[in-house]
Chain A
Amino acid sequence: MTEQEIIEGCRRGDAVAQRELYVRYGPAMFAVCCRYVADRSVAEDLLHDGFITLYTKIGDFRGEGSFEGWCRRIFVTTALGYLRKRNPLAFSDPLEDARSLSVEGGDALERMSGQELLHCIEALPEGYRTILNLYAVEGYSHKEIGQMLGVSENTSRSQYSRARSRLMEMIRDRNRIKLKDKS
């Protein structure tokens, strides 16, 4: 079944097409959910809600741009809706010079698999994780993130630096543990 056939089938409410859509895009969408929330059961809820939204809104897809990108945005929106309710972002820290934060560990990051990286991200505080996902993975600018989360552009920039620094720290630690285990 081609992508177009899946879309047309889902528009008609065809159960086979709906199942095919889930099988084809489900793993990537679940990864999106897991990137935003650490709790696996919550990620499953987001997966469910995201797919229901997807099936009911698929008539709005105009065929402009990537269908997978459109699906991804639905799941990001769903995840952010959940996070807003939890209010994970209490950005009240004063601005810190981003350059003073360590970003060493690029080699370790390069050697790391996507799955391992996901585990590290899951361990980040929700606020850091959200901004890191929005900036580094989804590709939003700090201005856009500021508007989405109701914080200033500078706050988003500062929080991203901290999140990245914390992540790299975790990657370095993980790498040290690995090396110790090997030795």
Chain B
Amino acid sequence: MTERDDIDRLLHDKLSGAETDLPQGAWARIEQSLADLRREGAFSASETTPLRRADDGQMERVTRRRVWMRSLSAAAALALIVWGGYEYMRRVEPDTDDVRLAERIVTQGPEQTDAVAENFSSARETEPGQSAGKSASRVDTRTDTGHLDTRVLAAATPSSTASSSAAVQMNRVEMASSVETPGATSLGQPGSLLESGAGAKRVQSREKQPEAASRKAGQPLPGNGESTPADRDVAARSAERVRTAEQQDIRPQWVKALETENHRARRRSGVPVSTALYAANFGSGSQSKDVTGVARFSASDLIVTEVSGGFGATDVMLYSENSTRKLDHKMPVTVGVTVSVGIASRLSVESGVNYTYLASSAEADGAWNYSVEQQLHYVGIPLNLRYNFVDRGRFNLYVSGGGMLEKCVSGTRTLKVSDSDASGKDTERLHVKGWQPSVGAALGGELRLGRLFGLYVEPGVGYYFERSNQPENYRTEHPCSFSLKAGLRVNLN
């Protein structure tokens, strides 16, 4: 019987408009119950304000809270980006000076390089309590010789003590070595520069040499590239210092290897690229709550009715008086793959694709047992900015922040009804329209396993914006939620 026939129509016409005389005393009972409800305050606000208005007030409070949460999340994301940008700029500027300095050192020849070493030794000779002014004056004196414009160094450390100034200079010289061209020879080699920061003692002893003394006195130096005996002597001494430095480098072999690999990688490509496979919230867990009112679950309905009011015309209402009801949203589980591209030395942009599984269930136990199980499958595209603020070779710490758009690609909902004698089941396929946007921030730690691989862990927080077209799930219940992501990162260059 697929269509309603005449009998059905007759039954409908005769019964739908039927009326039955009201029983005696029924209104008195209702009136008594209404009076009880009034005493309990059910209509207390309604004397002056309609019931609808009271609901609106509650909705307004909820909306206000959601606006606050959104604003806070946006502010946190903005603060993260601004802070990341500031840190980036703060660190990039000195690097630029270093590069300029390195270029000068390399292009000006061996004497100037030697002068850097001497400048360093002079700074080390200064007493720890001495002011930077004294150090600066010594640098200026050397500037007068025309060998090396060390004002760059002095200006970079205007308020530091002489010793710290020297340390900064040492670091810069070391950094200069990393940007030097591979073909550089003689005193321009990284080793000689490394040595200049390796220890003041050796430099001090070198300062006692007559050649150095004569240069201090302002004697002209050959600048035409011709090799003089003095030059050769300097070259020999520098070569010796390189060997000494290499012998005294007591760092573990793997650190040196890693450093070398890093330098090679930087030379090969200026844009570091890495990819990562990860899983988030891989542990089991759920958030559930007992519902004191009518348990609700969106979409296909048990009883399609406006009684549920505000839940929409196609909502489920598990309506059974004196029954216990429970909504249970399992924590989402995400797996994905991301690719990050370095846009600066410590900053990278990260994107990719991920899959998230969201499961929920609702139960109502009464004379009959009702349960609804829902499974949602989302595919998302994240876009994050990642900033490494600690880079210790094998171990990195970073912060990342950004946004993500997700689309529900598949979803099912199964309604089960059972009791001791009968049971039934109906599965419905969900067609969810629209996107789920979110923002998030995370703090991550990465442990590198060789040059290629790294294991990382990222605890984070995300905020999922409310979208009326998304089915109820963990994220709609907890728009602001914490997550734990762990994965394997592959460095592709």
Name, among A44, A84, A121, A152, the residue most crowded by chain B CB atoms within 10 Å (CB to CB).
A84
Chain A residue contacts of B423, Cβ below 8 A = 150
Closest Cβ of chain B: how far from A130's Cβ, in Å?
Answer: 13
Chain B residue contacts of A73, Cβ below 8 A = 303, 305-307
The residues in B between 333 and 389 inclusive whose CB is less than 8 angstroms from any CB of A are: 366-368, 370
CA distance A74 to B304 in the complex (A): 10
Q: Is A57 an interface residue (CB 8 A)?
A: yes
Q: Is A176 an interface residue (CB 8 A)?
A: no
Q: Are B20 and A30 in contact (CB under 8 A)?
A: yes
Q: Is A114 an interface residue (CB 8 A)?
A: yes
> In which size bucket is the chain B interface?
35 or more
Chain A residue contacts of B477, Cβ below 8 A = none
Q: Are A51 and B52 in contact (CB under 8 A)?
A: no
Given contacts A114-B15, A144-B304, contact A11 B321 (CB under 8 A): no
Q: Are A11 and B16 in contact (CB under 8 A)?
A: no
Q: Are B11 and A160 in contact (CB under 8 A)?
A: no
The residues in A between 16 and 55 inclusive whose CB is less than 8 angstroms from any CB of B are: 18-19, 22, 26-28, 30-31, 34-35, 40, 44, 47-48, 51-53, 55
CA distance A19 to B30 in the complex (A): 10
| A: number of interface residues (CB 8 Å) | 81
Q: Is B217 an interface residue (CB 8 A)?
A: no
Q: Are A118 and B15 in contact (CB under 8 A)?
A: yes
A-B contact pairs, 15 of them (CB 8 A): A12-B47, A19-B27, A31-B19, A31-B20, A47-B23, A48-B29, A52-B37, A61-B309, A73-B306, A84-B367, A106-B10, A136-B11, A136-B12, A149-B424, A164-B11
Pairs A-B, 4 closest by C-beta atoms: A150-B417, A60-B309, A59-B51, A13-B43
| Chain B residues close to A by CB (< 8 Å) | 1, 4-8, 10-12, 14-23, 26-27, 29-31, 33-34, 37-38, 42-43, 46-47, 50-52, 54-55, 300-310, 317, 319-322, 366-368, 370, 415-419, 421-424, 426
| Chain A residues close to B by CB (< 8 Å) | 8, 11-13, 15, 18-19, 22, 26-28, 30-31, 34-35, 40, 44, 47-48, 51-53, 55-62, 64-65, 70, 73-74, 76-77, 80-82, 84-87, 89-92, 98, 103, 106, 109-110, 112-115, 117-118, 121, 132-133, 135-137, 139, 144, 146-152, 155, 157, 160-161, 164, 167-168
